[in-house]
Amino acid sequence: MIGSTLLIFTMVWALPGDPFSGRCGQRPCPASFVAAETARLHLDKPLPVQYLYFLGNLLRGNLGLTSDGTSVAHELARAYPITLKLTTVAILMEIVLGIGIGIIAALRRGKFFDNLTLITSLVAISFPVFVIGFVLQYVLGVRFALFPVTVGYGAPWGDLILPGFVLALLSLAFVLRLTRASLLETLNADYVRTAIAKGLPRSLVIRRHVVRNSLIPVVTYIGADVGVLLGGAIVTEGIFNIQGVGGLLYQSIRLRENATVVSVTTVLVLIVLIVNLLVDLFYAVLDPRIRYE
């Protein structure tokens, strides 16, 4: 955590140029404003001293203020529930569709459904998110009017289905392929062949032994993806006008709100670390052979 925050803080505040450019529109900022902000952010002190001030505030739970005096914690509290809802929709799609289709494809290896899923997932991986987002928005939102084109105020769950699918599509394709490959590897294991040879029903062997033992790499990927998605999806949120963390971070970068960028990114780093820890602990639930002392 300390290493990440130090790196982020240094990268943001060591950027060349005027940190107040663009903060007052097209005009240069008044000298009084620059002096007040310089004193508030301790920009007149060396960079290591600035970082120590930031770390001290962080340990007290103080994420700082934006240039208009709004608390960064308040902005996060406003934006994060929306990003959390979008992430929930995307992760559910990854789990249900990615793992489900991957299992079916592995059990039908070499058949039409398996080949179709491999080709479709390759297409999904090949296209950038902004291309897929705009195409689905136009086709499903404008032409056929199946989903709202943009997300309304408060981000209702129904409005998040299409952007959640767009956000999940790339990861969904990887989860599908990873599940299929892992399942095929486990199906060829000696203990699986032994269980089937002993007369255990094939469905029971697949459900209890094959699927469960094949999910560890999939859970690792999904867990890492949860941390990334909780950081906000700038492109997807921009396409569908979602006022989440991605939008907040984009606006902060565009306006050079360096203090806000550092604070928001620090919170995202903490979330990623917590999610990775939970994923590691979840391994023992999936595989009884894993024990943590």
Q: Running along the chain, 293 residues long, what does each successive block of 10 average in pLDDT?
A: 86 76 73 81 84 87 79 87 90 92 91 93 89 91 89 87 91 93 86 81 80 83 81 80 85 80 87 83 69 55
Residues 272-291: b if buried by 16+ CB within 10 A, e if exposed: beebeeebeebbeebeeeee
Residues 6+ apart with CB under 8 A from 101: 117, 176
pLDDT of 226: 82
Which residue ranges make up each domain of the chain? 2-59, 75-286
According to DSSP, residue 65 is labeled B
- Rounded CA separation 285/281 (Å): 8
Q: Which CATH superfamily is domain 75-286 in?
A: MetI-like (1.10.3720.10)
- Residue 259 three-state SS: helix
pTM: 0.79
The residue count of the chain comes to 293
**H helix runs in the chain, sequence order:** 2-13, 31-40, 47-59, 72-93, 100-107, 112-126, 129-136, 161-187, 190-197, 202-205, 211-229, 234-239, 245-254, 258-286
Residues 72-93: b if buried by 16+ CB within 10 A, e if exposed: beebbeebbebbebbbbbbbeb
pLDDT of 27: 76
pLDDT of 138: 92
Residues 6+ apart with CB under 8 A from 2: 55
For the chain, how far is it from start to end, CA to CA, in angstroms?
24
pLDDT of 30: 81
pLDDT of 14: 75
Task: Yes or no: say if 177 and 100 are a contact pair by the CB < 8 Å rule.
Answer: no
CA 172 to chain centre: 13
pLDDT of 161: 92
- Rounded CA separation 210/190 (Å): 11
